[in-house]
Amino acid sequence: MVSFSLEGKVAMVTGASYGIGFAIASAFAEAGATITFCDIKQELVDKGLAAYAEKGITAYGYVCNVCDEEQVKAMVAQIEEEHGVIDILVNNAGIIKRIPMTEMSAEAWRQVIDVDLTGPFIMSKACIPSMITKGGGKIINICSMMSELGRETVSAYAAAKGGLKMLTRNICSEYGQYNIQCNGIGPGYIETPQTAPLRERQADGSRHPFDQFIVGRTPAGRWLQTEELTGPAVFLASEASNAVNGHVLYVDGGILAYIGKQP
């Protein structure tokens, strides 16, 4: 019987103090994995540790900026010493800046590319050698609808997430021979702090126009929840997906298949 168990595995989920990363790490714990996570600030790591503990999960948190290669190398070495080789890496940490492209500074552009694309490169580069030595591993990159679609004001984010889809395919191509499977998850529109501005009630109490737009673009007719990503994540982290490589699994309620509800 194919196994969805993560017993005996060490997982690292970046940016997992809350949001999508927290939900995925929590599901990995339920499947038996040892949970390590990082965030950019100690107070966020502490917040995350408390949230995991509230769910009865013993997690190990590290302060690490995924854009800083020296911090990442030191964190990975420390985790290997304290818990063993990272078997499952989820590149979840991400930011977005919603600015019309012609008004976006090159610095703001670089910040988004750095976290959302260079960070996964740095994290994967740090984890792959030990995965090879150990005989295999799993890398899951958290992509986006913007890995396939553009929209106003998210040029840097879309470029990063499109690049992340191709980094996923390239890691598959270059390291599949070492029994490393690298896949993506492409969430649709999920209720998290990152999308909160798109769901804010208007001054007159009406729903945000984008909120109404997305509900109309989603066959499910609703925003999705972080927990709805966890089954696909456990699948891609487990032996059940050993023959799946270089794939982006869209968990979007059908958005990419749907032209949208007639107004």
In the complex, what is the shortest distance from the CB of residue 142 to ligand GCO, in angstroms, rounded to a whole number?
9
Q: What is the DSSP letter of 190?
A: B
Near ligand GCO by CB under 6 A, which window of 24-32, 44-52, 69-77, 183-191? Answer: 183-191
Residue 157 among the catalytic residues? yes
Percent helix / strand / coil, the chain, rounded to 5: 50, 15, 35
Q: Please give the order of strands across the beta sheet that includes 88-91.
A: 59-63, 34-39, 10-14, 88-91, 137-142, 180-187, 248-251
d(CA 27, CA 13): 11
SS3 44: helix
Which residue ranges make up the site for ligand NAP (CB under 6 A)?
14-15, 17-21, 38-41, 44, 65-67, 92-95, 115, 119, 142, 144, 187, 189-190, 192-195
Radius of gyration for the alpha carbons in the chain, expressed in angstroms and rounded: 18
Catalytic residue among 52, 60, 62, 157: 157
Residue 41 interacting with ligand GCO (CB under 6 A): no
Near ligand GCO by CB under 6 A, which window of 67-75, 121-129, 192-200, 229-237? Answer: 192-200
Residue 140 interacting with ligand GCO (CB under 6 A): no
Residue 187 interacting with ligand GCO (CB under 6 A): yes
Near ligand GCO by CB under 6 A, which window of 36-44, 70-78, 145-153, 238-246? Answer: 145-153
* Helix or strand (DSSP H, E) at 203: none
User: Which residues are designated catalytic?
Assistant: 157
